[in-house]
Structure 1
Amino acid sequence: MLKNTDLRVVLATTTELSRQARATHGTAPAAAALLSQALTAAALMGALQKSDSRINIQVECDGPLRGLFVDGDTSGLVRGYVKNAHVEYAGGDSQYHWRPVLGNKGFLSVLRDLGGGEYYRSAVELEAFDLAADLERYFKQSDQLPSHVLLAQLPVGGEAEPLGHVAGLLVQPLPGADMTAFAELGERLRRDFAPALQARSAEGATAVLRALLPESDFEVMSRYPLRFGCSCSKDRVLRALLAMGREELTDLLEKEGQAEATCQFCTTRYVIPGEEIRGMLERGGI
């Protein structure tokens, strides 16, 4: 928090979880890069949620990636996947860098968990075909809240790691904020974010943030670890089977002899043997 200007700053360093996500899904370079950006955005936006709630970000597009889905919560747990993990090529170093991946048409939507079983979804069309820029448009159009969103992936010297250092930064004004200071800070961060990340990432997130915000009124309000993981379980698979109903489950047992399910988020494969399905039917729980 910058107290004198009433500006909120959220920094997420996501190098390790991005590498884990890439390894989990076996994503090619372009797909891995966009997935890591989206996971970073989910971490940033998850930090704005209240209590134990989640937020998810979805991109649908007509390019070879076809889309992606990520979500994050207030504890720092993020997960996600891309629809086509095998996209290797991105464009040149220009404003249309991601057009060969995302295509020419699409939308970005955000679903917020408001608590108490209530949800709010809003969407914007992809215009910049750049996740950070289109998220800024999302905040401005959907939330009527100007925001600075920066997503960075920087090479690591001497290391053959395609993702490099991965981090994101979100700056938003609070009610009554100094909007001149907000605009000036955005310009400064766009200039300094990559150099500060390159120079200080080995020292941790706090060192990066201190390098970016030398202001005397800078105060850390919260700090917590981020991780890539999933909430899937065998119990959830069993509940999904129960929801199918007796007739459909009996038909599945007769045709397949067992049930199989693979989680899109973490690729865990669950196999429910036929004996267990018969037990569910005999117990009359369906």
Structure 2
Amino acid sequence: MAESEASPDRAVTAVTHDGAFRVIVMRTTETVRRSIDAQEITGDNAKNLADVLSGTILVRLTMAPTYRVQGIVRGPDQRGTLVGDSHPDGSARGLIQRPKGLDEVSIEPGAVLVMMRTLPTGAVNQGMVEVPASGISGALMGYFQSSEQITSVARVGCVFDGDELVAAGGYLVQLLPEVSRAPLAVMTERLDADFSDIPKVVRAIQSDPDEMLSEILWQMPFEKTQDTALRFGCHCSSVRVLSSLATLPRTDIEDLMSSEESLHITCDYCSKVYEIPPSALAGLLSTS
């Protein structure tokens, strides 16, 4: 299949007529590309952040489409983090955080994946698993099994040409309670034989996620239940910046105002720079 870099990101979901499987296939190329560009990263950092972001989107689509989901990978010995942040409106963003002197956030043994789901009440549901040798895909399957009691095959991946992202995405096949032994055997065999080469699969998804969905569910009658637009998007704003400054002690805000110079604050996710004049800080004094 030909790749189409201009195609918008999207995810398609289907359920088989016999109630055995739910399948999600998603293309996340542009969302991932803009995230790694904003973070100005290459190499393994870019590849690992790509998988964390795609995996976080996949968890939200599977478990909590109307909630915000954050996926965080902490490197061995808590050295650095990779963050995926997926929102109900289809927007998502990524972030890498490294302590001084650390070039690469590793997902080698000792790394952990934390998934956090924000509920409407503000409460946060959290699950944590170790990142196995199979990487982020293995961690996702471990998370679904241990935290959500869902048996699934989840695979995410990306393809680079040098430092240029060519494709990103993945798929999930969820075994529903009604599954019987016969279709389970057929599906397992198909996934292992035809869909375990994730770079090849991700490249194919770029052309048409619907076609990949049909290939995974070959000869299995199904109904398409969702077609979801995905995109890069950051929820930063000048209001949010001021809200964060409002948490500073009153004396610190007064010191910032006395400098008579505007503050320049850069969003960690999208690199947008906000200019905050001293006059804008005056209203914070009544709440500090």
The bucket for the TM-score relative to the shorter chain is 0.7 to 0.9
Identity fraction in percent: 26
Alignment partners' CA distance in 2, 1:66 and 1:242: 27
User: How many residue pairs end up in the alignment?
Assistant: 270
Per the alignment, do residues 212 and 154 of structure 1 end up closer, same or farther by CA in structure 2, a change over 3 Å counting?
farther
In terms of fraction of residues, the more strand-rich structure is: 2
Displacement of 1:68 in angstroms is 0.5
Per the alignment, do residues 68 and 160 of structure 1 end up closer, same or farther by CA in structure 2, a change over 3 Å counting?
closer
Displacement of 1:54 in angstroms is 0.8
- 1:139-150 alignment to 2 at 5 Å? 139-150=144-155
Per the alignment, do residues 179 and 87 of structure 1 end up closer, same or farther by CA in structure 2, a change over 3 Å counting?
farther
Q: Verify the 8 A CA contact 1:29 1:88 in the aligned structure 2.
A: no
Amino acid at match of 1:75: D
Counterpart pick for 1:15 among 29, 44, 61? 29
Counterpart pick for 1:153 among 141, 153, 158? 158
Per the alignment, do residues 66 and 161 of structure 1 end up closer, same or farther by CA in structure 2, a change over 3 Å counting?
closer
Q: Verify the 8 A CA contact 1:13 1:205 in the aligned structure 2.
A: yes
Show CA shifts across 1:203-261 (max 9, x none): 32112222222234122100021111111100111122223243331133346844343
Alignment partners' CA distance in 1, 2:78 and 2:41: 13
List runs of 5+ in structure 1 lacking aligned partners.
90-99
Alignment partners' CA distance in 2, 1:65 and 1:180: 45
Displacement of 1:49 in angstroms is 4.2
Q: Verify the 8 A CA contact 1:62 1:102 in the aligned structure 2.
A: yes
Select between 11-20 and 183-192 the one with higher mean Cα deviation.
183-192
Q: Verify the 8 A CA contact 1:56 1:112 in the aligned structure 2.
A: yes
Displacement of 1:50 in angstroms is 4.3
Q: Verify the 8 A CA contact 1:196 1:211 in the aligned structure 2.
A: no
Q: Verify the 8 A CA contact 1:258 1:277 in the aligned structure 2.
A: no
Does residue 1:40 correspond to 2:28, yes or no? no
List runs of 5+ in structure 2 lacking aligned partners.
1-14
* Secondary structure at 2:117 match in 1: strand
More contact order relative to length (CA 8 Å, sep ≥ 6): 2
Select between 200-209 and 224-233 the one with higher mean Cα deviation.
200-209
Does residue 1:57 correspond to 2:71, yes or no? yes
Amino acid at match of 2:116: L
Name 1:138's counterpart in structure 2. 143
Per the alignment, do residues 32 and 196 of structure 1 end up closer, same or farther by CA in structure 2, a change over 3 Å counting?
closer
Amino acid at match of 1:135: L
* Secondary structure at 2:18 match in 1: coil
Counterpart pick for 1:124 among 125, 129, 138? 129
Show CA shifts across 1:8-53 (max 9, x none): 1111111222221222111112111111111111221111344631
Alignment partners' CA distance in 1, 2:263 and 2:205: 45
Alignment partners' CA distance in 2, 1:123 and 1:117: 19
Displacement of 1:59 in angstroms is 0.7
* Secondary structure at 1:24 match in 2: helix
Amino acid at match of 1:274: P
Amino acid at match of 1:175: P
* Secondary structure at 2:106 match in 1: helix
Does residue 1:264 correspond to 2:278, yes or no? no
Alignment partners' CA distance in 1, 2:268 and 2:169: 24
Aligned-residue CA RMSD (Å): 2.9
Alignment partners' CA distance in 1, 2:214 and 2:183: 18
Per the alignment, do residues 240 and 197 of structure 1 end up closer, same or farther by CA in structure 2, a change over 3 Å counting?
closer
Name 1:96's counterpart in structure 2. none
Show CA shifts across 1:124-156 (max 9, x none): 22332601011111221222222211113246x
Name 2:246's counterpart in structure 1. 242
Per the alignment, do residues 35 and 256 of structure 1 end up closer, same or farther by CA in structure 2, a change over 3 Å counting?
farther
Alignment partners' CA distance in 2, 1:141 and 1:49: 14
Name 2:168's counterpart in structure 1. 166
Alignment partners' CA distance in 2, 1:65 and 1:30: 15
Alignment partners' CA distance in 1, 2:82 and 2:166: 21
Alignment partners' CA distance in 1, 2:202 and 2:83: 26
